[in-house]
Structure 1
Amino acid sequence: MSVLTGALVALLLTTAGPGGPRAADGDGVSAVAAALRDGPVHVDPRARDVLPPAAAKALRNTVERADKPVLVAVLPADGDFDRKTLLQELRAETGITGVYAVALGDRFDAGADHQVMSRDAVRDAVGAVRRAHPGDPGAMVTDFTDRAVRQASGSAPAAWDGGGAAGDGGRTGGGTAAIVTLGVLVLLAGAGAFLVSRGSRRRRARLERAGLEKLRPVVDEDITAFGEELSRIGFDPATATARARPGGTGTARTGGEAGGTDGMDRTDGEDSTGGEDADAAREDYAQALDAYDDAKTRMAAARRPQDVRGVSRALADGRFALATLDARLRGTALPERRAPCFFDPRHGPSVEDVQWAPPGGTERAVPVCAADAARLAGGEEPAAREVGTPQGPRPYWEAGPVYAPWAAGYFGGGLLPGLLTGTLLGGALGGPYADGFGDPSGGGDFGGDFSGGGADPSDFGGGFGDGGGFGGGDFGGGF
């Protein structure tokens, strides 16, 4: 059965009854699920003191502007809902792949299909909002939603277009509207699967174009910086000499500046290599030039965010070749092939691993250049690569999932998840942008699909502070 067919069946079932489109006005999980199929936010009338209509409308606008599959329910703590199973039941009844945020009485919890938002990201966000807003479920659900729309992969269900008013339990309308709706759905059912399939492809293409354009300035900066490094080293492959740059110091400063290998100038102006060393230096330089050309060619041909991964990989290879060339010219030990500096790949290959933790996160070992290692040892902040966000410049690991393929090209699918656990970018791993994380094809579920009740049970646990939680343990927030 196609995605649209399943959605049409569900919609027919909710509109065909005596209550028509107001089927969501009943009690229990089924009613909440019916409301959420119509729109991203449902507030039970008995819980409007937690999230008043104006706040519910603002929350719905937040989700709709972001076009993300984030579903919010604000419910009373009474016998209609079993807090130990509520989230699992709600996901099964709604049938939408997405992120679910639920305030139940004075408690809050959330869960997500892992392809939309990772379990670690959900756990960290829930813990953060519980700590920030103890005893205020309305603030918790609002704060979590703001975080989720920044981290979630995918797009909102098409069924939400023109949906009902937030907080009113669904659309308004009478039996006549239901009959008309049913008739139209029957007439369109035969062609619907094709139309939605085409619409999904167009939406995906639109998202990919937007993601690529967001990445383009960052990648272009990387390519330009590497080209400048090639020029600064002053190597002449014809004579295997390293030429002095006017004002050059001749002191290596590998890593720590935006240019990474800036400072690889030679001041002696004499041949510093010969024989086999000269041949090896020429090979290093040729590899660096090839990597530079490869990066430019790949970026010119890029059509989706996943294509950027190859650009970053080429630049990482080129910077290692350039670092090796610099070592040959200086007569120092050749560098070990290591991952680029985590804080800014333009700093070049890392020289060691150091312990570091993002704000509010857990400590982990990250590869760093010599300059950033010295900064951290001295209690200073590292020279982080910042990118533009709606909130202003932020380190790339706090800027959202579109940067996943860019980072994956530098660090690879095996290393990156551990480096980014608990960050916004970490929540993208396994999602649609992170080509090579989880889904080797780079595909994955974009979220928002009507996928029925077949969710991974480990993604939805429940508990609301009772030791349940998503992914098999509580979040440490507790009530």
Structure 2
Amino acid sequence: MRLIAGLLLLSTSLTGAGDPSTVVQGWQSSPVYVDPSQRALVPEKEAQRLAERVEGHDPAIRIAVVPAASLGTTGSREQAARAYVDQVVDLQRQDGVYLVVFGGAITWGSAVGVDTPIAQILTDELSKHSRSDPVGTLDGVLDQMDVPGSPSGGFPTWLLVLIVLVVLAAALGLGLRWWKARPGKDEGPALYRPSYDVLPDEADTLAERQALAREDVTRFGEELDAADVRLDVVTASTESVATDLQAAMDAYADAGRVVDAEPTDEQLRAVRATVEYGRWRLACAQAVVADQPKPARRASCFFDPAHGTSVTDWMYTPPGGKAREVPVCAACATRLSGGAR
């Protein structure tokens, strides 16, 4: 595959990407270091907010966001992530909690000299957030560590619990009403792609969703294979391009592992976020090579992910269903507005 071959040929020239010494040097001025190529993943404003949240905390907390390419190309990602974090810990030489986000590939944590179950906390938060939402994952970890400054606004815990109980009670009431009027469990065709959350009016079978999810991932793989992104000339932007391509291929591999196994409904729904994230990172690489600004991060077109990234949101009512706002591409927006078909 041309894309992978080009990336592997260039990998040896990108040794500066996310170098551990650069991370430790960045920590001298802030406890949160974000590699310049990862600003789309963690904007400067969010990095500053996280830094203010962990500044002066005891035990010390250090956060780094580096390119997925920092993991290298040999061994498993878990082994590479552990080795990388061990390097920054050895260079920093300070007890505390270390959290490193490797692009959209993996997030790794280490607790050095402190009694913090960081592995358990991080595993719990990663189950709640996609790899494309590292800020949400990091905030969740800090919440579990009782670090002040939660995005929730610092509400008292008892008040948050009360709000959750009220919402759950309301949701339970609505759920019981739907259950009585629900459609047959396996009735009807699969109206939408499996990677989108299935609402009560979108009844389809798990087998149909599995087949469509596999098709979705296959299409993404074909897009990667057909992508004409040249990396034979090293430029100032090449490192950013290679990082985006690596993240796109990681997303494809992650989604492929899910659909090739025996996924649950919840796992199938997560395929959407993984594939959409990979398509966005591929589009970013293509934009840089074409000397164009990187596209804004938006979901794929609701009606068909093959249409590409959405450009706007549109109120849509499926047959016999409820109106909801969905992301649509330019062509679908024109069609829905009654324009040229």
TM-score of the aligned structures, taking structure 1 as reference length: 0.29
> Greater CA radius of gyration, 1 or 2?
1
Which structure carries more relative contact order (alpha carbon 8 Å, separation 6+)?
A: 1
TM-score of the aligned structures, taking structure 2 as reference length: 0.39
